Structure 1
Amino acid sequence: MNHQSVINLQTRRENAVGVHSVDCVVFTVPELGEAERFYTAFGLDVRRVGERLDVYTHGGQHCWMSVYASRQPKQLQYLRMGIYASDLDAMQERIASRGIGTAAHHLSDGGGLWLCTPDGVPLQIVVADKVSPSEKCRPLAARQVSPCQGAAPARSQVPQVRPRTLSHVLLFTPDVVRMLRFSEEVLGLRLSDRSGDGIAFIHGPHGSDHHLIAFARSDAPGLHHTSWDVGSVDEVGSGSEQMRTAGYARGWGVGRHVLGSNYFFYVRDPWGSYAEYSFDIDFIPHDLEWPAADHPPEDSFYVWGPEVPNDFVTNFEQATPMLSSDRQRHGHDV
């Protein structure tokens, strides 16, 4: 038994059948060159494999995203989600009893179980090692300096910020309540926090960050952002500067969220969605009953940070913006 398997067994919630990880995010973009430039500048390990890009963290062995070219606007294709082998039969029965099974996506390897969400987004369920955190992510060790040396590095000596792991994804949905119910009843996920019917944050039963997945209301499904864990607030800020220097100046932050508590900077990608640098998000252990709550708008978005861009919650996969009145009423923390 390898070390990862030992960790998995130690952090499993008793008698809970459910997804333990977001294993891979698969989407299409108009062409691969800009995607390769963006994610390389962001600090990820981007590898061309035939007609796709596979995206890793530096030094990591797990592929977190696969990106294909389609010559069409960016579009989420499917999510791959991981379960334990002992949950396979029960998950298969859940899918069959509800009649939500579907054919394997044409871009996939065809393996695992396949189902459709109520929004029509395909999900691939595979038996896999747990790649979501099994404990709260630790900060980087503080930089050691002598008493006669400044604590900040010279600008020319700042190393590239390189994320450590995928923390979560936020998806658009026309019906947040329906997707929450599906996530609980079929995927075995658990509500962390919500704000009315505008947004919901959902964690894994076997220990995960405050959310593996979040859902925000829009007129259609889509991918709003991927969030990547880094090792300090300073890395969040350095990441924002890193991306501005690389030519990606649009975004939101630096700030701190309320729900999840993480420090953030969102970089707008070439297709109108975002990649987030995230540090110090709340962690929910497998044996903790998190006190999920429905939060008012003023307590569900962010503690501090710059003004939110007007189109921050626009679903560019459908180019249908959320009305500003809706945004004010629901106070989305995305």
Structure 2
Amino acid sequence: MPEIQLRTQKSPHRAALHGVHSLDAFVFTVPDLDEAQRFYSDFGIEPRREANRLDLYTAGHPHAWGSLYQASGVKKLQYLRFACFAEDFDAIAARIERLGVPRCAPHALGDDRGLWVLHPDGFPVQVVVAAKSSPDAGSEPVVAPRPPTGTGASLNRARIPKVHPRRLSHILLFSGKVPEAVRFFEEALGLRVTDRSGDLIVFMHGAHGSDHHLIAMAHSNGPGLHHLSWDVANIDEVGRGMEQMYAAGHVRGWGVGRHVLGSNYFHYVRDPWGSYSEYSCDMDYVPGDFDWPTADHPPEDSFYAWGPKVPEDFVTNFQTEAAA
């Protein structure tokens, strides 16, 4: 696998844009780090224990996509960290000040870099200067060579290699204040709405180039994490990932199918705490020099084009359900 370089400077055609370029990290707590390490290892992520936390890496990529800490109770989103280019930081900070976005102290699990503000749903958001970890081009599907005639069955189950995601694609959050959350990400951090279905679900991309969405919000009765989405090489890896998790005992989920908005193939695996990790491939990409025609889609044309029946509790926010 070629060495991956993270970009640290803006592209000239986006010189006038002052917004974050990447979701730099997610941080949440779970009741059992050992259980978390088993789940993400089974999924094909590379979890690394560092003292009292678990950092999540993907094969061949230098970036730590997120961290988990142990705490009693339900799985809980603690904070998000976004990254910007150095030349954008002062403009973002000035815009946050002008908009009157509430500032907050650094999270106890975080550090004092950059600036800290409160998301409308009440959790902290950190903005730091860091290299761009979101992709600069859409992930190319890897097409396997056609096997020689007469050997098509050579890929039997005993020899199927383990699926290892290449990078984080996006995160989908529950929100009790979707309109306010959209304004926060758009006006304060400089993200852009790609597509939406009213205030039921909204997808947002980075103005410096990202997947169709690097973050999305789904309406709920409060904040929470619905899923983490991980990019894999092709639809075969989506299906193999499903079987990989079945074999490891993780049988609850949804897929294989294909989404409408974003266009990606998917399979969701339910984690031990009620949220999901998604194998995803072939998602739409929004280049940094392209103005995506934002549209408001009816609910029936905003979810999936084909796939199995959706589990009844697929959009249950277990973080708020447990609190209730």
* Cα contact 1:168–1:228 (8 A) shared by 2: yes
The residue matched to 1:318 in structure 2 has which SS? helix
- 2:165 is equivalent to residue 163 of structure 1: yes
Amino acid in structure 1 at the alignment position of 2:119: T
- Partners of 1:207 and 1:107 in 2: CA distance: 29
CA distance in 2, matches of 1:63, 1:224: 20
Secondary structure of the 1:182 match is helix
Matched with 2:71 is 70
Secondary structure (helix, strand or coil) at the match of 2:233 reads coil
d(CA) in 2 for partners of 1:99, 1:182: 8
Could you tell me which amino acid in structure 1 is paired with residue 193 of structure 2?
Answer: L
The equivalent residue for 2:27 is: 26
| Whole-angstrom CA distance in 2 between matches of 1:99 and 1:62 | 29
* Structure 2 SS opposite 1:314: coil
Alignment partners' CA distance in 1, 2:261 and 2:154 = 30
Amino acid at match of 2:229: S
Match 2:285 to one of 272, 283, 286? 283
Query: What CA distance in whole angstroms lies between the structure 1 residues aligned with 2:223 and 2:251?
Result: 26
Residue 136 of structure 2 corresponds to residue 134 of structure 1: yes
Task: Tell me how far apart the structure 2 counterparts of residues 242 and 34 of structure 1 sit (CA, whole Å).
Answer: 17
Q: Does the 8 Å contact 2:74/2:322 carry over to 1?
A: no
Q: Which residue, out of 218, 221, 226, partners 2:220?
A: 218
C-alpha root-mean-square deviation of aligned residues, in Å? 1.7
Q: Give yes or no for contact 2:83–2:132 (8 Å, CA) kept in 1.
A: yes
Letter in 2 for 1:185: E
Match of 1:112 among 99, 114, 121: 114
1:163-213 per-residue CA deviation (whole Å, 9 max, x = no partner) reads: 000000001111211111111100100000000111100000000000010
Paired position in structure 2 for 1:145: 147
Specify the alignment match of 2:315 in structure 1.
313
Q: Mean Cα displacement is larger for which, 187-196 or 10-19?
A: 10-19
Q: For 1:165-204, what aligned pairs fall within 5 Å after superposition?
A: 165-204=167-206
Please give the per-residue CA displacement for 1:284-309, whole angstroms capped at 9, x wherever unaligned: 01111101010011111100000000
8 Å contact 2:7–2:133 — kept in the other structure? Answer: no
Q: SS at the partner of 1:9?
A: coil
Q: TM (normalized to structure 1)?
A: 0.92
Determine the structure 1 residue equivalent to 2:257: 255
Name the SS for the 1:235 alignment partner: helix
1:264-303 to structure 2, matched below 5 A, reads: 264-303=266-305
Q: How many residues align?
A: 319
**Which amino acid is the alignment partner of residue 27 of structure 2?**
V
Give the superposition deviation at 1:141.
3.7
Matched residue SS, 1:87: helix
SS of residue in 1 equivalent to 2:266: strand
CA distance in 1, matches of 2:101, 2:292: 31
Deviation digits for residues 262-295 of structure 1 (CA, Å, limit 9, x no counterpart): 0000000000000000000000011111010100
Shift of residue 320 of structure 1? 7.3
Paired with 1:63 and 1:21, the residues of 2 have a C-alpha distance of 13
Secondary structure at 2:238's aligned position in 1? helix
- Listed as ranges, the gaps of 5+ residues in structure 2 are none
Identity %: 56
User: Structure 1: 5+ residue runs without aligned partners?
Assistant: 322-334
Distance change in 2, residues 1:302/1:51 (3 Å)? same
Give 1:53 shift. 0.4
- Residue 101 of structure 1 corresponds to 103
